[in-house]
Amino acid sequence: MIPVFKPRLPLVDTLLPYLKELDQNQQYTNNGPLLLRFEERLADHFKVSADQLCTSANGTLALIQMLKSLNLPKGAICALPSWTFVASVAAVVAAELTPYFLDVDESTWALSPDHVLHALRTTEVRAVLVVAPFGAPIAFEAWEALQAKTGIPVLIDAAAGFDTFSSCQTTLPFMISLHATKVFGIGEGAIIVGDSEFIKRCRSWGQFGFQQDRVAHCAGINAKLSEYAAAVGLAGLDQWGRTRQEWQSLKNHFLQASAGFDLMPGFEGDWVSCYGQVLTLEKPSVSFETRQWWQGGCHTHPAYQHYPKMDLSVTEKLARQCWGVPYWLGLTSSQLTAIFAELRAVQRISA
């Protein structure tokens, strides 16, 4: 069976020069030289200065770091879309905030400021966690305007946005996951980008609350990335230009093969992500693996069912119709053609 995803990380030969440095340095974590270099190169990638970015052990922890850095009172309401991976709401709950599920726009699959303004009529929303759906671009200006108008802090979960967010000029803090499933994966890891004061708070929270000293200024946690992870990251950055071209070529083949299908909004844009999805009327019964990447929406999981929510009809429709199909580096154009021929046969769609 063709799997829905196959990760590809840097091969061992490309890691060796960095691992040899590690042998020399004998520093394995705690902001070692490889991590500092990795962060500097990431800052170049996102076109920010080194003090506007920090790394974290994974995306879920990075979201908790960001939410904790807002210094909101325990139980304060954080609005977020239900149409996201459960990690978003898990972070809100772990940060001791109360999640409030909002719906998304069908034309973007993302939350809009109008959803938040509507919620504000009845609920005291204290923070907003916007999700860039499957790495798609989002309307920053509208969110910056909402933050300026209401004073409510807006954070962005751009877990799959390593490529999309490389050229964005937003003042809003965002998180990128470096999980093995992402276009730029290192196994586990994440990046936070924001203004230097915000990043200072995130760093401190992710390093036991320490600042320049060994004193806990806040009740932080350990979210550090090791030198081994940084070595994988540096090797990955060395190859990023080529890797991106491969993702772009996969996307071009996918777009050709999927003619006649409804895809995620904006998928044809100039950005690459790790998700190939189609909208179908029912679960496709096919020979290859399919996956509901975001299942039924966060509000359907037993752990999160009891949290407050607005009408979620778009989320529920997307949850029924949105199916991840095989999409990974190494998948050939003939495999994609066969995948869509089979989908066409079961969905009775003509090319």
Give the binding site for ligand PLP (CB under 6 A). 58-60, 84-85, 87-88, 131, 157, 159-160, 177, 179, 190
Least distance CB 167 / ligand PLP (angstroms): 20
Q: Cβ closer to ligand PLP: 112 or 177?
A: 177
Q: Cβ closer to ligand PLP: 66 or 343?
A: 66
Alpha-carbon gap, residue 243 to 297, rounded angstroms: 31
Least distance CB 318 / ligand PLP (angstroms): 14
Q: Cβ closer to ligand PLP: 179 or 309?
A: 179
Q: Cβ closer to ligand PLP: 271 or 340?
A: 271
Least distance CB 85 / ligand PLP (angstroms): 4
Least distance CB 132 / ligand PLP (angstroms): 8
Least distance CB 180 / ligand PLP (angstroms): 9
Q: Cβ closer to ligand PLP: 10 or 133?
A: 133
Q: Cβ closer to ligand PLP: 97 or 131?
A: 131
Least distance CB 38 / ligand PLP (angstroms): 16
Please write down the HEC assignment for all residues of the chain. Answer: CCCCCCCCCCCHHHHHHHHHHHHHHCCCCCCCHHHHHHHHHHHHHCCCCHHHEEEECCHHHHHHHHHHCCCCCCCCEEEEECCCCHHHHHHHHHCCCEEEEECCCCCCCCCCHHHHHHHHCCCCEEEEEEECHHHCCCCHHHHHHHHHHHCCCEEEECCCCCCHHHHCCCCCCEEEECECCCCCCCECCEEEECCHHHHHHHHHHCECCCCCCCCCCCCCCECCCCHHHHHHHHHHHHHHHHHHHHHHHHHHHHHHHCCCCECCCCCCCCCCCCCEEEECCCCCCCCCCCECCCCCCHHHCCCCCCCCECCCHHHHHHHHHEEEECCCCCCCHHHHHHHHHHHHHHHCCCC
Q: Cβ closer to ligand PLP: 324 or 326?
A: 324
Least distance CB 194 / ligand PLP (angstroms): 16
Least distance CB 63 / ligand PLP (angstroms): 6
Q: Cβ closer to ligand PLP: 203 or 253?
A: 203
**Which single residue brings its beta carbon nearest to ligand PLP?**
59
Alpha-carbon gap, residue 227 to 171, rounded angstroms: 29
